[in-house]
Chains A and B, each alone.
Chain A
Amino acid sequence: MKEVKLVISRYDPAEDDRPHYEKYIVPWKYGLTVLDALNYIKENIDSSLSFRQGCRSAICGSCALRVDKRGCLACKTMIAEKTGEIIIDPLNHYKVIRDLVVDLTPFYERMKQIQPYLVRNNTVQMTGKEMFIRPEALAEAKNLRDCILCGSCHSDCNTLDVDNTFCGPAALVKALRFASDPRDENKGRLAQAVELGLYKCPVDQECEFACPKEINIRRGTIERLRYLAVKNELAPLPEHKKLINSVLSTGGIVPVKAKPTTEMFPEYIKKFNGEPQAEVLLFLGCIINRRKQNVAEAIINIFQNNHVAVHLPGKVTCCGSPFMRIGQRDSMRPFVEKNFSIFNEYASRGITDVVTSCSGCNSTFRHDFPKLAREFEIPLNFRIYDVGEYMSEKIVLDVEGLKSTNIRAMYHYPCHIRASGLAENIYINLIQKIPGVELVKVPKSGYCCGGGGGVRAAFPDLADRLAIRRIEIAKESGIDTLITNCPFCVLSFERVLQLKEETGEKMEFRIIDFYEMFSEAYGSFPN
């Protein structure tokens, strides 16, 4: 008989000082859900195991809990055949009543802050005839009504980890559901959303990954609300205005302090002999181009080692991500036009692979630009890749040339990479090609560096707390090195490590840039 092991958090406040884990063996069969397994334990092993359950079809939201540290519905979570062991915890950010049962009161109370009901001043006459509303007028609200208020999003929210004044994702979904309903007469909803923390979300999408109803929380809700806030002149926030002024005057969110990479290298870089195995357009993004020249050099070096010829156009501009993230979608046109016309121009010469080194740019090009380009009728004759993705999937990677190194670390999976639909394993597999690197499994991917969504600019303390929290989580697993491949993450971590050092609370911790590590393993080219 096939079996699966469940490690379940048990806690009875009348008996226990704190929760502890207990292990249970459950027979496995195809289609076994976590809820089935819990019921098996309750009926056959230990009748005192406490959990909530209801419809067992993902509509009532009763059975929300965490499986391997991520919020989900027990009834909807199938246990795969090869699962050795799974860890079951109660939802995070709530007081545990017993075992897997939490007190959701704070979640419901937070919801009440946004007036979660239709506000109408006139009363409807009960004539037996409905209001006439065209379906398109309700289309947006209709898309948001799937929320079952299970609390999974709230459990996995990174911001709530460090700031419990934030109203949380579900409340914002509800806010937009009413703000987009033509029948609603509460004109203050957007101002309220801004007040309750709309700009405190680093758009890391943890909530969206947890959501069992697949609600589009990040782009469809948070960024949409931000867009509406900008339209209604409730945003951008003053700090965001500074940020975008920098983009408008210098073409990037970070000022030019040292010589940018694009001025250090020729437009065409091919140091190897013979035919290239690929030819790419490398879009560095402002942070790597202006601040992290060493990362840019590392990427170029990796490509040279692998006989990939690199085009490095100097005239590209900001990817526009800061504008999108804070709600200024209407300012995007020049960025799309300029960058995509350059990409198209290269494509007309046969260079159709655009590779970005910054995951923020990548995610913006992949998700936001195509829609905008359609609106502006700009063709897309090229394909966007992330550098790591390109290394993993588009070229034959030289593995022989990787020299051994001695690193024990955890990989920090950047949210923008995940938002681009790129699996964590792409990067883990790449790292593991370097001999001598020991990667420690993360308790859960998706912890936030605090660097996304404009949080660092508007709420620097919050961003710092997120970064510190992320480092602490790694330390709790006995790890003092993180490898990551997003410049926002790297800058965030470096900043808090420096801050801590300045205040005399030095954290023994090291951040390694993924590309620099790779480049070092190859040695500089030609070697």
Chain B
Amino acid sequence: MEIITHDIIVIGAGLAGQMAALETSQSSDTAIISKVHPLRSHSGAAQGGINAPFGNATPDDWEKHAFDTVKGSDYLADQDAVEILCKNITSRIVETDSFGAIFDRMPDGRLAQRPFGGGSFPRTCYAGDATGHEILNTLYEQFIKNNVKVYEEWLLTSLIVEDNACIGAFAINLKNGEAAYFRSKAVIVATGGCGRVFERTTNSHQSTGDGISMAYRAGAQVCDMEFVQFHPTTLVGTNILISEAARGEGGLLLNGDNERFMEKYAPAAKELAPRDIVVRSIQTEVNEGRGIGGGEFVSLDLKGLGRERLLEKLPQIYKLAKDFANVDVAEACIPVQPAQHYTMGGIRTNNRGESSIKGLFACGECACVSVHGANRLGGNSLAETLVFGKIAGAKALEYIRKKGTPGILKEAVGKEENRINHLFRSGDGSIAEIRKELQKVMWEKVGVFRNEKDILGALKTLRTLEESYARAGVKDGSRIFNTEMMQAIELGFMLDNAELIAKGALQRRESRGSHFRTDFPDRDDNNWLVHTIFILKDGKPHPSFEPVRITLFKPEARKY
């Protein structure tokens, strides 16, 4: 097996990974490894915007941003981490702006800001409704400028850990199927979320929780996996995202009786309540038979904005609705339904991006710092990638200063080769079938509304699927761009993520943010103002708890 050596490897080339690599590549030999070309990363699909307390629309400061974030998180966010986010994000946006990102601006030249769910007033900077695309392209332009080394279309298969220190990773070059041993002093994981675990998701096919699973298998702490964000407005059937910006710009939600039902659930914020609340409101309407025509969806009405404003402010939504739902949004409503959107939990890190394993860092959606707690506010995910991507990069640089090039863990090589080769055995059952069943059970039993019976049922199915997975084999024997092999490896990662989500959901006997237990419908601060931690022990997730760091705002009832 080829051995490739770099000081730092960054896994994943979305915004967090790129930000981290830009930071480390200035003064270390950094390589970024990604299973897709950096520009195909799912960060590019972020639409609505990025929150920052510039105060251009309404006077603002980091504390107000922090309060909205903490309240939005249902008080599960670590408040010192939120403080770092809110104090640093304006500088990160100014930096991105100076790299050439084209944010929308006010007539006087300052950055424009739009309202978003859970924000007290307009705080979301944006580039039309393709903000992620704009920032992703801008950072990648800096990659080209700075000649950052990229291994694109290399699939990471596992992390290499010795004496609780991460010293590299195994990866397969998809183009020729050859595996390599990446040796490094530090590894930064930035692989995004695990949305594909659910049948209905806005996430890309590549969002399979690879990094979370790899870190978990390597012995790292994984945190708050039961907190899965569902997005209120996705196209029926395809579950393509319709940005919250649509509601920020004035879009209304209507049920089958043509009633603006959000008035019932969040009398003040209405459509701009946080996502968890809007999702449950929609799902309640649907479950009680008030979907459109009694179906599993409601209407998003953007007609009031008028064609000109729609084309100016929401051009992508305009096209998505036309191309994928055959709806002219200036004339008709968009049929929408909730779908999985974001993974709040992930690899547990401290405020410097360090995981519980030395030399292993995490940032972005795969990490749990935690700035989002039980429910992330729209516009805070891009903010997190930039702020904590940079911080993780800086900390990794500091970490490697004292480190020499690590040795090669020889016994790991054979083990990894066997593991990959084993995938090609002639097994029975299909990878695609197992994946479909997994997605279905997670959506139906560990979705928007949860209860003990359903979750136990899901866990039972997951065990069966694990067994099927152990028997299934990759039928495609070619080693060249073998996407079936890639999907098989990803399915292994997805099964881990699913188990962590279900186990977290089972043990948390309360309802908080995105996690709603119909059998425990209230928030329980006395018992559950804690993070769920899992580590792998004897082949099983071993639970523990960690108190939430409350430094700024005392938990109070959450009303919108």
Interface residue B158 (Cβ < 8 Å from any Cβ of A): no
Residues of A within 8 A of B324 (CB): 31, 57, 76
Q: Do A134 and B133 have beta carbons less than 8 Å apart?
A: no
Q: Do A148 and B144 have beta carbons less than 8 Å apart?
A: no
Q: How far is the CA of A43 from the CA of B487 in the complex (A)?
A: 11
Q: How far is the CA of A494 from the CA of B74 in the complex (A)?
A: 75
Give residues 106-164 of B contacting A (CB, 8 Å).
106-112, 127-128, 130, 133-134, 137-138, 141-142, 144-145
Taking the closest CB of chain A, its distance from the CB of B18, in whole angstroms, is: 13
Q: Do A14 and B478 have beta carbons less than 8 Å apart?
A: yes
Q: How far is the CA of A116 from the CA of B137 in the complex (A)?
A: 10
Interface residue B9 (Cβ < 8 Å from any Cβ of A): no
Interface residue B105 (Cβ < 8 Å from any Cβ of A): yes
Mark the stretch among A119-127, A254-262, A329-337, A503-511 that contacts chain B: A119-127
Mark the stretch among B34-42, B516-524, B551-559 that contacts chain A: B34-42
Q: Do A47 and B478 have beta carbons less than 8 Å apart?
A: no
Q: How far is the CA of A283 from the CA of B432 in the complex (A)?
A: 62
Residues of B within 8 A of A13 (CB): 480
Interface residue A138 (Cβ < 8 Å from any Cβ of B): yes
Q: How far is the CA of A90 from the CA of B555 in the complex (A)?
A: 56
Q: Do A59 and B44 have beta carbons less than 8 Å apart?
A: yes
Mark the stretch among A96-104, A202-210, A351-359 that contacts chain B: A96-104
Interface string of A307-322 (1 = CB under 8 A from B): 0000000000000000
Mark the stretch among A139-147, A373-381, A519-527 that contacts chain B: A139-147
In-complex Cβ contact of A48 among B102, B144, B478 (8 A): B478
Q: Do A12 and B478 have beta carbons less than 8 Å apart?
A: yes
Q: Do A129 and B94 have beta carbons less than 8 Å apart?
A: yes
Q: Do B206 and A134 have beta carbons less than 8 Å apart?
A: no
Q: Do B98 and A97 have beta carbons less than 8 Å apart?
A: no
Interface residue B395 (Cβ < 8 Å from any Cβ of A): no
Residues of A within 8 A of B133 (CB): 59, 145, 148
Taking the closest CB of chain A, its distance from the CB of B484, in whole angstroms, is: 5
- A50-B482 contact in complex given A62-B36, A132-B108, C-beta closer than 8 Å: yes
Residues of A within 8 A of B108 (CB): 132, 134
Interface residue B93 (Cβ < 8 Å from any Cβ of A): yes
Taking the closest CB of chain A, its distance from the CB of B38, in whole angstroms, is: 10
Q: Do B241 and A57 have beta carbons less than 8 Å apart?
A: yes
- A138-B102 contact in complex given A60-B204, A128-B91, C-beta closer than 8 Å: yes
Residues of A within 8 A of B37 (CB): 62, 104, 108
Interface residue B289 (Cβ < 8 Å from any Cβ of A): no
Interface residue A383 (Cβ < 8 Å from any Cβ of B): no
Interface string of A59-90 (1 = CB under 8 A from B): 11110000000000000100000000000000
Q: Do B240 and A56 have beta carbons less than 8 Å apart?
A: yes
- A48-B484 contact in complex given A116-B144, A128-B94, C-beta closer than 8 Å: yes
Q: Please tell me the number of chain B residues within 8 Å of chain A, measured between CB atoms.
A: 69
Taking the closest CB of chain B, its distance from the CB of A394, in whole angstroms, is: 30
Q: Do B204 and A130 have beta carbons less than 8 Å apart?
A: no
Interface string of B428-452 (1 = CB under 8 A from A): 0011110010000000000000000
Q: Do A118 and B141 have beta carbons less than 8 Å apart?
A: yes
Q: How far is the CA of A179 from the CA of B158 in the complex (A)?
A: 44
Interface residue B26 (Cβ < 8 Å from any Cβ of A): no
Interface residue B320 (Cβ < 8 Å from any Cβ of A): yes
Residues of B within 8 A of A129 (CB): 90, 94
Residues of A within 8 A of B204 (CB): 54-56, 60
Q: Do B481 and A101 have beta carbons less than 8 Å apart?
A: yes
Q: Do A55 and B42 have beta carbons less than 8 Å apart?
A: yes
Main secondary structure of the interface of A (DSSP, over half): loop
Give the residue among B102, B175, B238, B241 with the most A Cβ atoms within 10 A. B102
Residues of B within 8 A of A268 (CB): none
In-complex Cβ contact of A116 among B90, B112, B141, B240 (8 A): B141
Q: Do A127 and B94 have beta carbons less than 8 Å apart?
A: yes
Q: Do A130 and B97 have beta carbons less than 8 Å apart?
A: yes
Residues of A within 8 A of B436 (CB): 43
Q: Do B110 and A132 have beta carbons less than 8 Å apart?
A: yes
- A47-B484 contact in complex given A54-B205, A135-B105, A142-B102, C-beta closer than 8 Å: yes
Interface string of A19-59 (1 = CB under 8 A from B): 00000000000010000000000111001101111111111
- Nearest B residue (CB) for A133: B109
Q: Do B91 and A51 have beta carbons less than 8 Å apart?
A: no
Interface residue B479 (Cβ < 8 Å from any Cβ of A): yes
Residues of A within 8 A of B90 (CB): 128-129
In-complex Cβ contact of B39 among A48, A76, A118, A148 (8 A): A148
Q: How far is the CA of A479 from the CA of B19 in the complex (A)?
A: 55
Residues of B within 8 A of A108 (CB): 37
Q: How far is the CA of A42 from the CA of B488 in the complex (A)?
A: 13
In-complex Cβ contact of B42 among A12, A60, A120, A124 (8 A): A60
Q: How far is the CA of A31 from the CA of B44 in the complex (A)?
A: 24
Q: How far is the CA of A62 from the CA of B105 in the complex (A)?
A: 30
Q: How far is the CA of A13 from the CA of B91 in the complex (A)?
A: 49
Q: Do A117 and B240 have beta carbons less than 8 Å apart?
A: no
Q: Do A55 and B478 have beta carbons less than 8 Å apart?
A: no
Interface residue B476 (Cβ < 8 Å from any Cβ of A): yes
Residues of B within 8 A of A184 (CB): 100
Interface residue B284 (Cβ < 8 Å from any Cβ of A): no
Taking the closest CB of chain B, its distance from the CB of A130, in whole angstroms, is: 5
Taking the closest CB of chain A, its distance from the CB of B287, in whole angstroms, is: 25
Q: Do B106 and A135 have beta carbons less than 8 Å apart?
A: yes
Interface residue B323 (Cβ < 8 Å from any Cβ of A): yes
In-complex Cβ contact of A183 among B42, B100, B105, B479 (8 A): B100
Taking the closest CB of chain B, its distance from the CB of A367, in whole angstroms, is: 20
- Nearest A residue (CB) for B205: A53
Interface residue B60 (Cβ < 8 Å from any Cβ of A): no
Interface residue B237 (Cβ < 8 Å from any Cβ of A): yes
Give residues 178-199 of A contacting B (CB, 8 Å).
178, 181, 183-184
- Nearest B residue (CB) for A123: B98
Q: How far is the CA of A48 from the CA of B142 in the complex (A)?
A: 36
Taking the closest CB of chain B, its distance from the CB of A258, in whole angstroms, is: 51
Q: How far is the CA of A167 from the CA of B196 in the complex (A)?
A: 38
Interface residue A112 (Cβ < 8 Å from any Cβ of B): yes
Residues of B within 8 A of A120 (CB): 98
Taking the closest CB of chain B, its distance from the CB of A220, in whole angstroms, is: 15
Interface residue A15 (Cβ < 8 Å from any Cβ of B): yes
Q: Do A58 and B320 have beta carbons less than 8 Å apart?
A: yes
Q: Do B134 and A145 have beta carbons less than 8 Å apart?
A: yes
Q: How far is the CA of A214 from the CA of B474 in the complex (A)?
A: 39
Residues of A within 8 A of B97 (CB): 124, 130-131
Q: Do A130 and B480 have beta carbons less than 8 Å apart?
A: no
Taking the closest CB of chain A, its distance from the CB of B199, in whole angstroms, is: 14
Residues of B within 8 A of A48 (CB): 475-478, 482, 484
Q: Do A124 and B480 have beta carbons less than 8 Å apart?
A: no
Give residues 143-159 of A contacting B (CB, 8 Å).
145-146, 148-149
Q: How far is the CA of A57 from the CA of B339 in the complex (A)?
A: 15
Q: How far is the CA of A91 from the CA of B324 in the complex (A)?
A: 23
Interface residue B68 (Cβ < 8 Å from any Cβ of A): no
Q: Do B100 and A118 have beta carbons less than 8 Å apart?
A: yes
Interface residue B544 (Cβ < 8 Å from any Cβ of A): no
Q: Do B432 and A43 have beta carbons less than 8 Å apart?
A: yes
Give the residue among A55, A56, A97 with the most B Cβ atoms within 10 A. A55
Residues of B within 8 A of A123 (CB): 98
Q: How far is the CA of A91 from the CA of B36 in the complex (A)?
A: 18
Q: Do A117 and B142 have beta carbons less than 8 Å apart?
A: yes
Q: Do A141 and B145 have beta carbons less than 8 Å apart?
A: no
Q: Do A133 and B91 have beta carbons less than 8 Å apart?
A: no
What would 18 A/B residue contacts be, using CB atoms closer than 8 Å?
Answer: A13-B480, A31-B237, A43-B436, A48-B484, A56-B205, A56-B240, A59-B44, A76-B324, A115-B145, A118-B141, A128-B90, A130-B94, A130-B110, A132-B110, A133-B105, A133-B109, A138-B102, A142-B128
**Would you list the 9 A-B pairs with minimal beta carbon distance, nearest first?**
A118-B100, A132-B109, A48-B476, A117-B141, A124-B98, A43-B432, A98-B481, A117-B145, A57-B240
A-B contacts besides A43-B433, A56-B240, A183-B100, 14 pairs, CB < 8 Å: A47-B430, A48-B478, A55-B205, A57-B320, A60-B36, A60-B204, A103-B175, A118-B138, A126-B91, A128-B91, A131-B94, A133-B109, A135-B105, A138-B105
